[in-house]
């Protein structure tokens, strides 16, 4: 369960460290950890932006549908008042 999940996360961090070493060369452990943290923060930020944009789009769609339903109800009410 949780131990396997932690092993997967550790493998991901190792992979990132190897990629950074290939790209930037050998660096001190502290620098490596800082770079990995920056990369993870950047990914988190992108995911949050994408999620917020998606939620905003869903909210706008729901609001448009609600307004359309409200307009239909007002139109029906107006027709009933005219009778």
Q: What is the mean pLDDT of each run of 10 residues along the chain (83 residues)?
A: 92 93 93 92 92 88 89 87 80
Q: What integer pLDDT is reported at residue 39 of this predicted model?
A: 92
pTM: 0.62
Which pLDDT belongs to residue 28?
Answer: 93
Angle at 68 between CA 65 and CA 73, to 5 degrees: 125
Separation between Cα atoms, residue 6 and residue 27, nearest integer Å: 25
């Amino acid at each position: 369960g949780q131990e396997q999940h932690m092993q997967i996360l550790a493998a991901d961090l190792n992979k990132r460290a190897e990629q950074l070493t290939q790209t930037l060369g050998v660096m001190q452990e502290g620098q490596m950890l800082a770079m990995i943290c920056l990369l993870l923060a950047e990914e988190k930020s992108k995911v949050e932006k994408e999620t917020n944009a998606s939620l905003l789009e869903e909210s706008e769609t729901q609001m448009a549908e609600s307004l359309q339903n409200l307009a239909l109800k007002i139109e029906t009410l107006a027709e009933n008042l005219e009778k």
